[in-house]
Amino acid sequence: MLDRFVDRLDMNRKERSFPFGFRSSKLCNRSSKPEGAMDRLSTLLKHFNLHASTFHQGGFCGTTPVYGEHSFGHAHLLRSGRLTFRDKRGLPTELSEPSLILAVRPQAHQLLASEADDAQVVCATLHFDGGANNPLTLALPDFIIMPLRELQGLDGTLDWLFAEAFGDECGRDVILNRLFELMVIQLLRHLMARRTIASGMMAGLAHAQLSRALVCIHDEPQRNWSVAELADRSGMSRASFAAHFRETVGITPADYLANWRISLTQKRLREGRPIALIADEVGYESPSALARTFRRKVGTSPKEWLLQNTP
pLDDT for residue 219 = 97
Please give the sequence-ordered ranges of beta strands (E in DSSP) within the chain, or none if there are none. 50-60, 62-63, 73-80, 83-86, 92-95, 99-103, 110-113, 119-128, 144-147
Residue 82's closest CA among 60, 67, 64, 66? 60
pLDDT for residue 77 = 98
Evaluated on CA atoms 254, 138, 27, 45, the torsion sign reads positive
CA distances from 220 to 25, 37, 67, 283, 308 (A): 12, 18, 37, 9, 29
Give the number of other Cβ atoms within 10 Å of residue 181's Cβ: 18
Model confidence, pTM: 0.86
In order along its 311 residues, the chain shows pLDDT tens digits of: 434 433 444 444 344 333 333 333 345 654 444 444 689 999 999 999 999 999 999 999 888 888 887 889 999 999 999 999 999 999 999 999 999 999 999 999 999 999 999 999 999 999 999 888 999 999 999 999 999 999 989 999 999 999 999 999 999 999 999 999 999 999 999 999 999 999 999 999 999 999 999 999 999 999 999 999 999 999 999 999 999 999 999 999 999 999 999 999 999 999 999 999 999 999 999 999 999 999 999 999 999 999 998 87
pLDDT for residue 28 = 64
301, 295 contact by CB (below 8 A): yes
* Structural domains of the chain, with CATH: 45-193 (2.60.120.10), 201-308 (1.10.10.60)
DSSP 8-state symbol, 100: E
Angle at 91 between CA 87 and CA 96, to 5 degrees: 85
Residue 204's closest CA among 250, 172, 160? 250
